[in-house]
Amino acid sequence: MTGTQRAEPDDIFFIIQDVIDAAGGNENLELYAYLPSFHKRNVQKNIKMNAVLDISSNELATLLFSPPRGVIANHQRILFF
């Protein structure tokens, strides 16, 4: 999606930290921070975000093309935003 996105007055907004805190304890969900993107944008991950694991390009490739560590499932979902 590109261009200008505008929020409607009655839209519901989520604070990403609240979403991470709520989902972080789920044993079937892993959250990652893609470090090359952070470096390119000259930002750092908040050290309090313990539920979010750092991931490099090689680790991302492994995640995309190999079964996740210790997970036995017929499928996996990977969400990018």
The domain segmentation of the chain, as residue ranges, is 25-65
pLDDT digits (tens, 9 = 90+) for 57-75: 998 888 888 766 666 767 6
State the alpha helices, DSSP H only, in 1-81.
16-23, 35-40, 57-65
Q: How far apart are CA 25 and CA 62, in angstroms?
A: 23
Show the tokens assigned to 40: 């390119």
Q: Residue 42 has what pLDDT?
A: 92
pLDDT digits (tens, 9 = 90+) for 1-44: 556 777 788 888 888 788 888 887 777 778 888 899 889 989 88
pLDDT band of residue 80 (cuts 50, 70, 90) is low
Q: Angle CA(55)–CA(18)–CA(73) in degrees, nearest 5?
A: 50
